[in-house]
Amino acid sequence: MFVCTSCTLGQAGFLERVRVALPDVDVAGIDCMSGCADDQTVAFRAPGKVAYLFGDITDADLPALETFSRHYVASTDGTFEDARLLGDLRMKALARIPG
C-alpha cells in the first residue's frame, strides 16, 4: 500500500496512522501520486494484480482500507466479484489499473 505524503493528511502524519491501523500491511509513503484534486490519496499494487488508486481518504476510511487490504490479498488477480463489500470506499476509487 502506498500513501501520498504530499497530500494534506499525508503532511499531518497520516502515513503513521495508517501503519498503526493496518499493522499487517506493508505501507510505504510516496511523494505525490498526482491525485491532488482528491487528496488524500492511497494506492494498492501487487505483482500480477490490478492496482487501485483511491482519493478523498480520511481517517474515517481506515477500517474500510483494512477490509479492502484483506480482500485484495486474498484475491488472485486483485478483482472483486461484488464491489459492494468495500462500502463507501468503492465510491472513492479514482483508478483501477490493469496488472
The pTM score is 0.92
- Domain extent for 16: 2-97
- In terms of C-beta density within 10 A (0-12 exposed, 13-18 middle, 19 or more buried), how is residue 34 classed? exposed
Whole-number CA gyration radius for the chain: 12
| Nearest-angstrom CA–CA distance, 28 and 78 | 19
Q: Looking at the 3D structure of the chain, how many domains does it have?
A: 1
Per-residue pLDDT of the chain in tens (99 residues, 90 and over written 9): 999 999 887 778 899 999 999 999 999 999 999 988 888 999 999 999 999 999 999 999 999 999 999 999 999 999 988 888 888 899 999 999 998
How far is the C-alpha of 95 from the C-alpha of 34, rounded, in Å? 12
